Amino acid sequence: MDTAGAVSTGAITTAHGAALDDTPLLVWLAFAVASGTGLLGSALLFKAFGHAKQVLALSAICAAGYYVWVYMISGTGADRPAEELYIAAVVIGVTLGFCILSRRVA
């Protein structure tokens, strides 16, 4: 994301842009792994494959790591829109729900 461009157009605040720019690569990698394994785990769950629970568990762990860094460790949670906190709760909740469901299906 071009944070400077987003800030200049008013799409995000200056503090939010700084928070995004200061996010370490490892945290972005955790976000990417959480997203990819969440998608893969959902597909495996849909097909009722036995490895869905391990893939979804990895997704939940990486997502939790990303959100812990954003809201607890980095101190930039207040600089982000309030909606992101609701999205975090939904993402973790749905992923954990899929983990539980995968134990019953596979």
| Predicted confidence (pLDDT) per residue in 49-85, tens digit | 888 899 999 999 999 999 999 888 988 878 888 888 8
Can you give the pLDDT at residue 12?
Answer: 84
Band of pLDDT at residue 42, cut at 50, 70 and 90: very high
Instruction: Write down the mean pLDDT value for the chain.
Output: 89
* Domain span including residue 65: 3-105
The pLDDT of residue 34 is above 60: yes
Quote the tokens at residue 57: 């568990």
Look at residue 2 in the predicted model and tell me its pLDDT. Answer: 81
The tokens for 25 are 């690569």
Count of domains observed in the chain: 1
pTM above 0.95, yes or no: no
CB 94 within 8 A of CB 79: no
Q: Are 55 and 87 in contact (CB under 8 A)?
A: no
